[in-house]
């Protein structure tokens, strides 16, 4: 391990947590891009010294940034999603990429189930019903049972698999759509997403965002899910055609939605704000004390491994 | 000698045995008047008469053999005294604290409830309240909807309401491992929680660790879930000592009955940070909720609606009708509590 690792400069492109900053600063010199008003000028000044970029779901390393940092060796993202990183360009230039898989899988899956229950059982709405004093005027409304329902999972990766296992504990019937069928899974595979949506009541979006999957949940899929159907998105906002989603909810062509992610975070379509059959979260699927620490440790661990000339802990490229 | 019929009945129905209803079940309003109908019995609807209840019963209900109590309509010793022919009290609830069971026993009256028809829904809500509490779901939804946009990721943790707490690996203590408690255990097991329980008696077929004392259970868990019924023994069972044993990092979920918890003490603990949070579907004086709770972000409040699903109401209607039909055909009931046949 290089004893002068404190001279290695890491550029954080967006705030993540105080803890992550402190931990990186223990071994490296850190520049925080959001502290600088003129980001272009800052990069111009320091481009020859920046050797690592740390990002998150909010920001990563696009082609422009990569091209402007000739000494860049590694991009470490505090997220499992890679959609903010130009992977092809990194590969091309021999830049390493590391993310934070596995440590957040349980929390994201828990939130998916939490959102399903919140939407079906109207938990948030009923909490407001109590807080506003409405309960004194009369009973709350009827809701929809979760146990035994059919759940469709788009993307049967690490997170999708764990969501399925939890839904099984509620005696749910599981179906899924994925790029390829997974061997040894007891769930019904639907090669066509519209078929999956037609055959489930709750569709959970759990796949990664790539060029191919942008707006994969489109008008036809939403219509297939239908007026009694519920869409849960814990993947990425761009996986769903948000404009179509809003219109379907307003017109009653879709029964409800639980959303942790949006096309243009932190913006949320205003039309959704007044809808009681919609639960909106500010991208918090991995936001627990335990998991955020584990993610930060993994980012730091990857940086230390790379600059210590050891194998990356969780390499992508 | 009375000829009190419901409206719109045909001549044949005069021969049908009658079932007394004190007040209209919520199902009538939601599903229509025919949702508990059968061609094997008819309803005697007490609320349709201008007479006060005791007079009504004396005049019209002397030969009525069955009572259907819905919406917690009490079945007291006094009521039973006024209805000497009753042999069955059927309630649409699972809880029985509104029925004088001792009096029913004395009179040889069979009591039947709605059995386990709600158990899944109640267990689902317990899990929903727990995830909401640990992951700030209602608080965040409120936050997003009130402020129109999620707060910008700022320095420090990215979320102003306070970061959540991981569910997996937490120790869950279930108070009352009956039908509902078992289903809660099955669900939380799948989330990677470790389950232990307290019950009146240890369940031999269950492998979860058993604590004979609820205080000891609380001391050994992070999440206490109240799934038992309300009895003289369980009244205020969750008291100062139990909450203290649960501790600063502990949370409590109540989908049983409000009076199982000493509510005043619970509120004090929450306000002073002596426990971390609570998810409550039931309260001591519904629909009144202690106003201190209304201002807290570390509680999730639910208006006693754990059984309010369309599916379960339909299942319950079917169960009630099947039980009443079985009763009048002298066949075994599906769900009886007190058997005095």
Residue B1: its pLDDT value, please? Answer: 46
- Does residue A2 have a pLDDT over 80? no
Q: How far is B289 from chain A (nearest CA, A)?
A: 8
Tell if the CB–CB gap between A123 and B151 is shorter than 8 Å.
Answer: no
Cis peptide before A266 (omega within 30 of 0): yes
**For A272-299, what is each residue's pLDDT tens digit?**
999 999 999 999 999 999 999 999 999 9
| Dist CA A172 CA A169 (whole Å) | 7
Cβ-based burial of B116 (10 A; exposed 0-12, middle 13-18, buried ≥19): middle
Check: CB of residue B248 under 8 Å from CB of residue B277.
no
Residue B202: its pLDDT value, please? Answer: 95
Tell if the CB–CB gap between B148 and A268 is shorter than 8 Å.
Answer: yes
Residue B235: its pLDDT value, please? Answer: 98
Residue B157: its pLDDT value, please? Answer: 36
Higher pLDDT, B153 or B223: B223
| Dist CA B48 CA B261 (whole Å) | 38
- Does residue A46 have a pLDDT over 60? yes
Residues from chain B that touch A144, judged by Cβ atoms under 8 A, are: 309-311
Active-site residue list of B? 257, 286, 304
Query: Which of B155, B180, B279, B306 has the highest number of chain A CBs within 10 A, making it the mutation to test binding with A?
Result: B155
Tell if the CB–CB gap between A266 and B149 is shorter than 8 Å.
Answer: yes
Residue B4's pLDDT band, with cuts at 50, 70 and 90, is low
Element (H, E) at B172: strand B171-175
Backbone torsions φ then ψ of B21, nearest 5 degrees: -120, 125
The per-residue b/e assignment along B165-196, b for 16 or more CB within 10 angstroms, e otherwise, is: bbbbebbbbbbbbbbbbbbbbebbebbbbbbb
Residue A1: its pLDDT value, please? Answer: 45
Mean pLDDT computed over A38-64: 96
Tell if the CB–CB gap between A266 and B310 is shorter than 8 Å.
Answer: no
Residues from chain B that touch A260, judged by Cβ atoms under 8 A, are: none
Tell if the CB–CB gap between B309 and A114 is shorter than 8 Å.
Answer: no
Count of CB atoms situated within 10 Å of the CB of A264 = 10
Closest CA to B67 of B86, B82, B53, B52: B86
User: A249: Cβ–Cβ under 8 A, 6 or more apart, which residues?
Assistant: A256, A257, A271, A272, A275, A277, A278
Residues from chain B that touch A14, judged by Cβ atoms under 8 A, are: 153
**For B72-99, what is each residue's pLDDT tens digit?**
789 999 999 999 999 999 999 887 888 9
Cβ-based burial of B233 (10 A; exposed 0-12, middle 13-18, buried ≥19): exposed
Mean pLDDT computed over B105-130: 96
Distinct helix (H) and strand (E) counts, chain B = 12, 12
Measured between CB atoms, which of A17, A117, A282 is closest to B144?
Answer: A282
Q: How far is B62 from chain A (nearest CA, A)?
A: 34
Is the model's pTM score more than 0.90?
yes
**For B228-268, what is each residue's pLDDT tens digit?**
999 899 999 999 999 999 999 999 999 999 999 999 999 99
Residues from chain B that touch A270, judged by Cβ atoms under 8 A, are: 148
Which residue of A lies nearest to B154 if distances are taken between CA atoms?
A15
Helix ranges (DSSP H) in B179-252: 179-190, 214-219, 240-246
Tell if the CB–CB gap between A166 and B144 is shorter than 8 Å.
Answer: no
Residues from chain B that touch A113, judged by Cβ atoms under 8 A, are: 127, 131, 191
Higher pLDDT, A27 or B72: A27
Query: Which of B29, B125, B140 has the highest number of chain A CBs within 10 A, making it the mutation to test binding with A?
Result: B140
| Dist CA B71 CA B27 (whole Å) | 10
Tell if the CB–CB gap between B150 and A283 is shorter than 8 Å.
Answer: yes
Q: Supply the mean pLDDT for chain B.
A: 91
């Amino acid at each position: 391990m290089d004893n002068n690792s404190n001279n290695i400069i890491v550029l954080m492109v967006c705030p993540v947590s105080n803890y992550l900053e402190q931990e990186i600063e223990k071994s490296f010199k850190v520049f925080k891009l959001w502290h600088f008003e003129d980001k272009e000028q800052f990069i111009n000044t320091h481009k020859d010294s920046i050797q690592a970029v740390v990002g998150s779901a909010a920001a990563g390393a696009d082609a422009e940034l990569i091209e402007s940092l000739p000494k860049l060796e590694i991009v470490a993202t505090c997220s499992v999603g890679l959609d903010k990183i130009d992977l092809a360009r990194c590969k091309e230039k021999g830049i390493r990429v590391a993310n934070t898989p596995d440590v957040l899988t349980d929390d994201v899956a828990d939130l998916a189930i939490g959102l399903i229950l919140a939407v079906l059982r109207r938990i948030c709405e009923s909490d407001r019903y109590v807080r506003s004093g409405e309960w004194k005027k009369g009973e709350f409304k009827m809701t929809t049972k979760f146990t035994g329902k059919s759940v469709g999972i788009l993307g049967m990766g690490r997170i999708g698999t764990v969501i399925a296992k939890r839904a099984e504990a509620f005696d749910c019937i599981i179906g899924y759509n994925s790029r390829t069928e997974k061997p040894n899974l007891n769930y019904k595979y639907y090669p066509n997403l519209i078929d999956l949506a037609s055959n489930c009541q709750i569709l959970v979006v759990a796949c990664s965002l790539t060029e191919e999957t942008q707006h994969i949940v489109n008008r036809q899929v939403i219509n297939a899910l239908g007026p009694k159907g519920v869409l849960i998105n814990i993947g990425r906002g761009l996986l769903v055609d948000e404009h179509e989603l809003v219109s379907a909810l307003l017109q009653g062509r879709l029964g409800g939605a639980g959303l942790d992610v949006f096309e243009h975070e932190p913006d949320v379509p205003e039309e959704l704000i007044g809808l009681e059959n919609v639960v909106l979260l500010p991208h918090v699927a991995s936001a627990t004390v335990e998991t955020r620490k584990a993610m930060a440790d993994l980012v730091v661990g990857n940086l230390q491994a790379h600059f210590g000339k050891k194998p990356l802990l969780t390499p992508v490229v | 000698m009375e000829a009190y019929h419901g409206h719109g009945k045909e001549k044949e129905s005069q021969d049908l045995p009658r079932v007394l209803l004190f007040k209209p079940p919520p199902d009538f309003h939601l599903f229509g008047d025919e949702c508990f109908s059968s061609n094997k019995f008819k309803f005697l609807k007490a609320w349709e008469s201008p007479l006060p209840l005791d007079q009504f019963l004396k005049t019209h209900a002397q030969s009525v053999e069955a009572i259907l109590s819905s919406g917690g309509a009490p079945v007291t010793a006094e009521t039973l005294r006024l209805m000497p022919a009753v042999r069955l009290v059927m309630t649409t609830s699972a809880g029985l604290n509104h029925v004088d069971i001792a009096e029913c026993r004395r009179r040889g009256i069979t009591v039947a409830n709605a059995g386990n028809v709600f158990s899944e829904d109640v267990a689902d809500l317990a899990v929903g309240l727990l995830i909401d509490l640990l992951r700030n779901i209602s608080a965040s939804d409120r936050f997003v909807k009130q402020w129109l946009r999620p707060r910008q990721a700022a320095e420090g943790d990215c979320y102003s309401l306070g970061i959540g707490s991981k569910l997996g690996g937490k120790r869950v203590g279930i108070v009352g491992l009956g039908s509902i408690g078992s289903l809660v255990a099955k669900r939380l097991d799948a989330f990677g929680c470790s389950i232990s329980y307290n019950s009146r008696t240890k369940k031999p077929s269950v492998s979860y660790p058993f604590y004979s004392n609820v205080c000891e259970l609380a001391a050994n868990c992070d999440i206490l879930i109240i799934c038992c019924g309300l009895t003289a023994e369980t009244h205020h069972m969750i008291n100062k000592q139990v909450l203290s044993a649960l501790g600063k990092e502990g949370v409590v979920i109540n989908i049983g009955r409000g009076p199982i918890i000493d509510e005043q003490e619970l509120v004090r603990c929450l306000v002073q940070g002596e426990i971390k949070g609570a998810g409550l579907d039931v309260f001591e004086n519904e629909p009144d909720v202690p106003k201190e709770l209304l201002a807290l972000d570390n509680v999730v409040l639910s208006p006693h609606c754990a059984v309010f699903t369309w599916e379960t109401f339909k299942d319950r209607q079917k169960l009630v009708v099947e039980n009443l039909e079985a009763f009048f055909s002298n066949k075994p009931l599906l769900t009886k509590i007190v058997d005095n046949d």
